[in-house]
Chain A
Amino acid sequence: MSDISMKPLLLRLRDSAVYRSIVRHGVTDTNLNRSLIIFENVFLHVHPVKVRERTLRFTHTYWLGGITTACALVLTMTGVLLMFYYHPSVPQAYKDMKELNFVVEDGAFLRNLHRWAAQLMVFSAFLHMLRVFYHRAFRPPRQFNWVVGIVLLLVTLLLSYTGYLLPWDQLAFWGVSVGTNMAKEAPLVGEQVRFLLLGGHVVSENALLRFYVLHCVLLPVALLIFLSVHIWRVRKDGGVQGPSEELESPESGEVL
């Protein structure tokens, strides 16, 4: 048994009982292990174990859904970090923005990253919707997933809108004032909805706190729920649908 002591330390760790109780797939590069990596991992098992090669091409979907999701991840990470220095009260919120921009180490970078990721997320969500439309990937059985996608688009816009108020500068305040005044114009429920959203008759501290809760808790949870449904449905509907057969030039390869 002298070979064992010759093995490098990492290899010995990998063969240890502790490691093997955590990581349940082997390390040799077989299809079994590749399957297990996906299948037995709670985060990765939203993927199917195998995918069609066609769907991996850039021109299949232009990766727009992926870009949107990547932006959502970046926004969550930077958002949580920003929360450590932000109080949703008036006028402290504005002072915190100044502090983030000039005092906090990398504060300006994180804030900028958050803002640009937000713009990109809205933009790529729109582009993703257009891509799905022009590829006609909403046809049965994918109809309801399109509706879920529209809901996701609305949640994204609301996330962006609620976040817009948080810096409590002139841009934020008046942008939101104008928007909520538009909501007031809705017949029957307009005034009520506005009162509920703002927690009052005017944009004030109450509004800031409500928008903060919406932006940091309710809407992200809604996004997570609908995104899970969306991705799950993509999988159950047969995978990512790109250009359909009649849109592409016909592939060769009839198999008799």
Chain B
Amino acid sequence: MSTQPPIVLSESSDPLALPRRVALVRPDLRPAVRQLEERWLMTFPHLIVREVILFQIVLIALGLAAIFFDAPLQGIANPLETPNPAKAPWYFLGLQELLHYFPPVVAGVLMPALVVIALVVIPYARVNLTAGPLWASHPRRKAIGIGVVTVLLVALFSAFACWPIVVPTLFVAAAIFAARKGAAGGRLRRRLARVTLPEWIMTWFVVIATILTIIGTFFRGPGWSLVWPADAAVFG
């Protein structure tokens, strides 16, 4: 025990700045434990300061937007005169675009309800918890399955002439199959090969929602006809 260095305790505000050995534990005398080294910091000031700065940045950005871009205010509400086109707020425009293709019960009630249910169920569906890269296992079975689902989706939505859904579905399916030959390929293909099935599904959904919203916002004019953005009455 005489070879042990003297234990000197000193106070420091940084818990990890000056590590001093206070005891020596021989590695061969206790089980090896894999542990990621975690560095802990005091909430005050490290996290608090970041939150304050974030709030300031958000406030400044919004303030600049508020100075340079005015919120719209049209004529007073007139129940007897419907503007042409009558557009919902932008986050509902994707839905309003869907209304063009499907009856109101489907596009206005059924589809949003299904989307919300699907979102809520995500953490309870086993596939979301255990999924690995899509093509890592059972590639042939999956290829057939995905092919069948793609064909069914394309057929279903083509029956309603809903091209904003059909075209992205085909693109995403193409990307999924391109990812199959993942190992042999460039960085992008290798990155795609690591994508899991739930991630593909969510990406498909996000792409479609974005495209529908963009069409509804920028490419629909009077009578919900297709127009170029200049005529699209972006603010309704």
Contacts and interface: CB of A to CB of B under 8 A. Distances in A.
Contact of A150 (B41, B69, B119, B202): B119
Given A48-B43, A113-B62, A173 B202 contact: no
Interface string B58-98: 11001101110111111111110111001111111001100
A56 B129 contact: no
A197 interface: no
Contacts of B128: 136, 138-139
B123 A139 contact: yes
Given A91-B76, A113-B63, A133-B202, A187 B105 contact: yes
Interface in B16-50: 27, 32-48, 50
B104 interface: yes
A160 B89 contact: yes
B89 A51 contact: no
A170 B13 CA distance: 61
A113 B63 CA distance: 6
A229 interface: no
Contacts of B230: none
Contact of A51 (B35, B47, B87, B95): B47
B105 A185 contact: yes
Interface string B99-132: 1000011001100000010011011100011000
Contacts of B199: 133-134
Contacts of B86: 174-175, 177-178
Contacts of A204: 79
Contacts of B91: 122, 157, 160
B139 interface: no
B47 A56 contact: yes
B73 A74 contact: no
Contact of A171 (B33, B55, B129, B235): B235
Contact of B123 (A49, A143, A164): A143
Contacts of B236: 170-171, 174-175
Contacts of B75: 169-170
Contact of A108 (B70, B83, B109): B70
A7 interface: no
B93 to A, nearest CB: 10
Given A66-B54, A171-B235, A150 B108 contact: no
Nearest to B113: A186
A120 interface: yes
Interface residues of A, number: 90
B206 interface: yes
A116 B42 contact: no
A136 B123 CA distance: 9
B15 interface: yes
A142 B196 CA distance: 20
Nearest to A54: B38
Given A146-B123, A255-B33, A170 B46 contact: no
Interface in A108-127: 108-117, 119-120, 122
A171 B40 contact: no
Given A74-B59, A160-B89, A203-B79, A182 B108 contact: yes
B120 A147 contact: yes
Nearest to B89: A164
Nearest to A170: B74
Nearest to B233: A171
A74 to B, nearest CB: 6
A256 interface: yes
A29 interface: yes
Contacts of A34: 13, 42-45
A76 interface: no
Nearest to B14: A31
A254 interface: yes
Contact of A185 (B48, B58, B77, B108): B108
A31 B11 CA distance: 10
B51 interface: yes
Interface of A: 29-31, 34-35, 37-38, 44, 47-54, 56, 63, 66-67, 70-71, 73-74, 90-91, 94, 97-98, 101, 108-117, 119-120, 122, 129-130, 133-134, 136, 138-140, 142-144, 146-147, 150, 154, 157, 160-161, 164, 167-175, 177-179, 181-183, 185-187, 190, 202-204, 245, 251, 253-256
Given A53-B40, A169-B73, 14 more contacts: A47-B47, A48-B43, A66-B51, A109-B67, A116-B69, A133-B202, A150-B120, A160-B91, A173-B77, A173-B78, A173-B79, A174-B236, A175-B88, A177-B86
